[in-house]
Amino acid sequence: MFIGLTFFQFIFTQSQEDKMIRRIYDEALLRGHAYEDLRSLCKEIGPRLSGSSEAAMSIRWSEQKMHSYGFDRVYLEPIMVPHWERGNPEAAWITHPNGILEKINICALGGSVSTQGMMEGELVMFNAIADLSKAKPKEVSGKIVFINQPMNAAEIQTFKAYGACYPIRGNGAIEASKLGAKAVLIRSLGLPNDDFPHTGSMRYEDSIKKIPAAALSTQDAERIADLLASGVSLTFSMEMDCRNFPYEPSFNVIGELLGSKYPNEIITIGGHLDSWDQGEGAHDDGAGIIHCMEALRILKVLAYKPEHTIRVVFFMNEENGNMGGKTYASWVKEKNEKHLAALESDRGGFTPRGFGCDASDSIFTKFQAFSPLFEPYDLHLWERGGGGVDIGPLKEKFTDIALFGFIPDGQRYFDVHHAESDVFETVNKRELELGAAAIASLVFLMDTVLF
Amino acid sequence: MFIGLTFFQFIFTQSQEDKMIRRIYDEALLRGHAYEDLRSLCKEIGPRLSGSSEAAMSIRWSEQKMHSYGFDRVYLEPIMVPHWERGNPEAAWITHPNGILEKINICALGGSVSTQGMMEGELVMFNAIADLSKAKPKEVSGKIVFINQPMNAAEIQTFKAYGACYPIRGNGAIEASKLGAKAVLIRSLGLPNDDFPHTGSMRYEDSIKKIPAAALSTQDAERIADLLASGVSLTFSMEMDCRNFPYEPSFNVIGELLGSKYPNEIITIGGHLDSWDQGEGAHDDGAGIIHCMEALRILKVLAYKPEHTIRVVFFMNEENGNMGGKTYASWVKEKNEKHLAALESDRGGFTPRGFGCDASDSIFTKFQAFSPLFEPYDLHLWERGGGGVDIGPLKEKFTDIALFGFIPDGQRYFDVHHAESDVFETVNKRELELGAAAIASLVFLMDTVLF
């Protein structure tokens, strides 16, 4: 009898869960707001770099949207953010030995200093940042360093290929400056062969002279590499007008469905509201914040009463400082909230493949047991890992918090990442909606089964 | 000792297979020809409906490409194909009761008769083809029937949603004509809300009057449905200039790597070379034939010597008659070939999700055991089913043949299927390349393990 009862209970529970997940997907696919909300964010506001007017607009926009969806509480969390501006569009060209000029598209890396007017220098190329580190000062001094290290297209997991190249962008200026270079150019961290330079964050060290840093499109990088490899000497001319301003006030935007049983036990879901200043931040990370807001909207519309408080956070400043994520973690800790879990979506609005989970073995085992519920939805990845830049700082404050990362298909992400091409048109409606439904479904299971 | 030895052999074999698959993916992703070949097919030839000059060009193009890749044998198989032409672009408008005209984009369904000049009639709408079947002649007679049945967006498997709507396009003209309608308009079988009508095959019955049949874009369908639902009476005016010509000669294009052990035992892989006359047939089925040709090229370049003969077939006329698939099956049977297996790719050039297999239990069990080899490549579907229109007729001739179907992600397919929007730009390079690699890997395993 006992076995029979348990079996019956299991079937009943499964069936209730199946039904709720099916209702979530129906709402997302038949009556979803995700696509129109993302259109509005991308087209009516556009790019929203921390400290920009558009970032301020996007904060208002987010607050209004969350109010319109009737979340129980909507509020702003004050933070301070760095403020960097690209200034006038960059200009650059190469001068061939015979005097012919060729225009080159460059874009300053985020945080770069300006060139202080026109800067010129002989190009010296390295095929990898490791080669630059081994170079002698006399090879580099007074020149403009060009690091032509491509992302590895043979790597199936594009985020791994990106991670392997990240030091080029992050440390290129430091390594080149140590050897006396005037400036550093990097091949964009992007996979396609096209003409969009990809920006992104870079670092300086206080003790090392700050030199300008910019990205070339992969097409220009190949073109210049071919010329240099053929023994031609090239002069590179560039002007970048970037400026750093003092830190300034900004906000994380927060919306909540209050827990009916445990209002003080929190599950946070979110992404980042800021974006780079090129393109529209459609996949990075418009899609992520829309996923999470839509997940909350769906739960609300389905009249779901969560046991725990489900909180959506639109973090500000993930791209160049992560002040939103850091401040949020400290603030939650100070308030002495019980923080159960956090989920981040910051890998674009593509077809869902699954989730990563960074948690205790017992939570992870339960998490993996969700897998059959999602087979009809083609989610197959239930793996270790997860988290992300915005929710990472929570782990430092709450060692037993469970972090989750949404994993969409990653093949197209580095086509558009941090480039002018990251626009609304590259986001597919169904793919975006399926992401919101997958996240809402996992949040529902976290709330009812996991905690 | 015995167990030890078996274990050792297993590890060794796995490792050799892993290595070969990795080499296949490297070739596809680092030195692949798929994307440039598809660009050439789409941009230098374009759409290639059976019987058109472009179809003839595409046969030459395919033969030359296969020769250039050094396949052991390249040849043409003569077939006869239907020849239908759209003629001048269609024109249509609605006339509002107050006399205002509104232009409507329509496209003739493939095989439709012309309107014989301008045709006008009152619109009568049905929300489903089932409702039309139940209608009385007096409701329909002398009118233009509009079937506004949408694909079910809540269905996760888009091919299922398509399958459920297929009778609208296939039988709409027959059902409407039975009741005396002048013409039939259908809401396009497409998922997005946009302004591209989607064409596709339709049928007539000899005993029932042939009436013109056309598709409306989903946007126009919604617009007209709203007007009709509000009680407005609308006159629809349309002109279509389509013509059917006699059957004419054409070809399947065939390339082979000859089997080193069993040259008379055949594994066929293929897709269809023909496409509809709108767009460029990029996903349907440019991607599919390029997948298969690239798979054979990769095996050749890696100096792989297949045990069985691997044959790539570019079938002609899948879209409106399937004469390529039918003729091939008969021809293979007549030649008394031993035909082990066939694989089809005709679901677009999207990120691979897995394969379907329609075979004996013993073959299917072995097939499913491949799954771990493909985990690093994110292929998770190893399911019953598979095959396709082109290779289906083989099953009738060889009851024990194993059929396989390539399953890419299906979320974007019905955005572009049979519409002007099915162009090269909608195909992603990495996604296409991963498909070719997945197919080449499975063919390698079929050749070495399965048969």
End-to-end CA distance of chain B: 28
Asked whether the predicted pLDDT for residue A14 surpasses 90, the reply is no
Contacts of B21 in chain A (CB under 8 A): none
Asked whether the predicted pLDDT for residue B4 surpasses 80, the reply is no
Cα A185 to Cα A147, A224, A240: the distances in Å are 6, 11, 12
Alpha-carbon distance of B155 to B133, in angstroms, equals 24
Mean of the pLDDT values across residues A25-36?
98
Residue A258's pLDDT band, with cuts at 50, 70 and 90, is very high
Mean pLDDT taken over chain A: 96
Asked whether the predicted pLDDT for residue B9 surpasses 80, the reply is no
Residue B15's pLDDT band, with cuts at 50, 70 and 90, is confident
Residue A386: per-residue pLDDT: 86
Asked whether the predicted pLDDT for residue A9 surpasses 80, the reply is no
pTM above 0.80, yes or no: yes
Domains of chain A with CATH codes: 13-84+246-450 (3.40.630.10), 87-241 (3.50.30.30)
Residue-wise pLDDT tens digits, B310-324: 999 999 999 999 999
Contacts of B431 in chain A (CB under 8 A): 411-412
Residue-wise pLDDT tens digits, B220-246: 999 999 999 999 999 999 999 999 999
Residue B319: per-residue pLDDT: 98
Alpha-carbon distance of A337 to A359, in angstroms, equals 19
Residue whose entry in the numeric block shows the structure tokens 């034939």? B289
Residue A382: per-residue pLDDT: 98
Please check whether residue B434 touches A, CB under 8 A.
Answer: yes
Asked whether the predicted pLDDT for residue B185 surpasses 70, the reply is yes
Residue-wise pLDDT tens digits, A377-425: 999 999 999 889 999 999 999 999 999 999 999 999 999 999 999 999 9
Cα B233 to Cα A314, B133, B238: the distances in Å are 49, 22, 17
Please check whether residue A19 touches B, CB under 8 A.
Answer: no
* A317 class by beta-carbon count within 10 Å (0-12 exposed, 13-18 middle, 19+ buried): buried
Q: Tell me the shortest Cα–Cα distance from A268 to chain B, in angstroms.
A: 27
Mean pLDDT taken over chain B: 96
| Least trusted range by pLDDT, from A137-151, B9-23, B117-131, B376-390 | B9-23
Residue A8: per-residue pLDDT: 44
- Closest partner CB to B29 (pick from A154, A192, A412): A154
Residue B42: per-residue pLDDT: 98
Asked whether the predicted pLDDT for residue B285 surpasses 80, the reply is yes
Residue whose entry in the numeric block shows the structure tokens 């292929």? B379
Interface test mutation site (partner B, options A194, A377, A378, max chain B beta carbons within 10 A): A378
Residue B2: per-residue pLDDT: 40
Query: Are the C-beta atoms of residues B47 and B40 closer than 8 Å to each other?
Result: no
Contacts of A377 in chain B (CB under 8 A): 156
Q: Do B376 and A156 touch (CB under 8 A)?
A: yes
Residue whose entry in the numeric block shows the structure tokens 């202080």? A116
Interface test mutation site (partner B, options A21, A22, A411, A413, max chain B beta carbons within 10 A): A411
Query: Are the C-beta atoms of residues A346 and A272 closer than 8 Å to each other?
Result: yes
Residue B386: per-residue pLDDT: 86
Whether the CA torsion A292, A296, A301, A303 is positive or negative: it is positive
Alpha-carbon distance of B10 to B8, in angstroms, equals 5
ipTM value greater than 0.90? yes
Question: Using alpha carbons only, how large is chain A's radius of gyration in Å?
Answer: 24
Which amino acid type is present at position B170? G
Residue A13: per-residue pLDDT: 58
Residue-wise pLDDT tens digits, A55-87: 999 999 999 999 999 999 999 999 999 999 999
Contacts of B416 in chain A (CB under 8 A): none
Q: Do B192 and A429 touch (CB under 8 A)?
A: yes
For chain A, give the percent of residues with pLDDT over 90. 96
For chain B, give the percent of residues with pLDDT over 90. 96
Chain CA centroid to CA A285, Å? 5
Asked whether the predicted pLDDT for residue B128 surpasses 80, the reply is yes
Residue B13: per-residue pLDDT: 58
Asked whether the predicted pLDDT for residue A12 surpasses 80, the reply is no
Residue B5's pLDDT band, with cuts at 50, 70 and 90, is very low
Within a 10 A sphere around the Cβ of A170, how many other Cβ atoms? Answer: 16
* B47 class by beta-carbon count within 10 Å (0-12 exposed, 13-18 middle, 19+ buried): buried
Which amino acid type is present at position A337? E
- Which residue of chain A comes nearest to B194, CA vs CA? A429
Residue-wise pLDDT tens digits, A179-196: 999 999 999 999 999 999
Q: Would you tell me the crossing angle of helices A429-445 and A287-301 to the nearest 10 degrees? A: 60
